[in-house]
């Protein structure tokens, strides 16, 4: 049954039997057979097949997926309890959007490492949508995002204000912009609209690359004031260009120690 649950989870996330088979290192017919047996065991339809490789999850599949995510965490906790004497250090996985990861997270981590020396911390950086996705899929415990994203299973708390500014060589027509899923993209598009601009753009999916280009005299951009090098030319954009950072997590926390880390993060930013 656990094998079928694992196969179901991968099919649900990929929406594709062939991709699931590749990730599981089994054949596509084996994936189809396991899903069919699981549907027979549960007496429900999990995926709507339309004659192609792609499938659409049913409402029952959505419910099962959420329960399996929690079951996965509970099972890991059971295994840790059974092997407590040989248990390794607890791991806390934190994922953050670009600006927060580079300019805010290091200060927080210096405190977390001191407060929780027995915990192994694993850090990752993605855009806001990817951070939310990793939290939902139990690939990280805590996340920090630059956009007010929310789902039914995610708890979100506003923790920090970040000022955006215009920086670079204002005489140049070229603008360095982040990708559409980036938190700062919305503000850049707002600036273009407010100033009736349709400029030449270079899309760069990394704040540090943008700053290095600006330092070399390449174009202009809207970036976090926190990221400004000392000698870079810049101008403020006003109150409307102050964005919020958010702390997100799942409603269910897997262990007492992770709950303590969560409480410390809240105190660090909100007190």
Quote the pLDDT of residue 77.
65
pLDDT tens-place string over residues 98-114: 899 999 999 999 999 99
Question: Which residues in the chain come in under a pLDDT of 70?
Answer: 1, 51-53, 72-88
pLDDT tens-place string over residues 112-131: 999 999 999 999 999 888 99
Q: What is the reported pTM?
A: 0.68
The pLDDT mean for the chain works out to 89
Contact 210, 204 (CB under 8 A): yes
Quote the pLDDT of residue 237.
96
Contact 30, 21 (CB under 8 A): yes
């Amino acid at each position: 049954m656990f094998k079928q649950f694992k196969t179901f989870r991968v099919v649900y996330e990929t929406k594709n039997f062939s991709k699931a088979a590749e990730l599981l290192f089994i054949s596509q017919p084996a994936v189809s057979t396991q899903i069919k047996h699981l549907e027979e065991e549960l007496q429900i339809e999990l995926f709507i097949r339309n004659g192609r490789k792609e499938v659409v999850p049913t409402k029952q599949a959505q419910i099962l997926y959420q329960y399996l995510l929690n079951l996965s965490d509970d099972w890991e906790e059971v295994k840790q309890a059974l092997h407590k004497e040989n248990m390794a250090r607890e791991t806390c996985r934190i994922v953050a959007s670009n600006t927060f990861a580079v300019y805010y997270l290091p200060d927080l981590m210096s405190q977390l490492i001191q407060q929780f020396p027995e915990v192994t911390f694993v850090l990752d950086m993605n855009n806001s949508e990817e951070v939310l996705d990793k939290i939902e899929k139990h690939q990280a415990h805590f996340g920090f995002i630059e956009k007010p994203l929310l789902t039914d299973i995610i708890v979100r708390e506003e923790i920090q204000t970040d000022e955006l500014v215009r920086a670079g060589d204002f005489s140049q027509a070229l603008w360095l912009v982040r990708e559409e899923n980036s938190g700062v993209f919305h503000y850049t598009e707002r600036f273009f609209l407010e100033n009736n601009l349709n400029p030449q753009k270079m899309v760069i999916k990394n704040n540090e690359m943008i700053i290095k280009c600006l330092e070399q005299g390449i174009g202009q951009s809207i970036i976090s004031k926190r990221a400004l090098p000392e000698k870079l030319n810049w101008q403020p954009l006003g109150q409307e260009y102050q964005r919020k950072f958010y702390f997100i997590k799942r409603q269910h926390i897997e262990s007492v120690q992770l709950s303590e880390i969560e409480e410390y993060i809240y105190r660090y930013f909100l007190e």
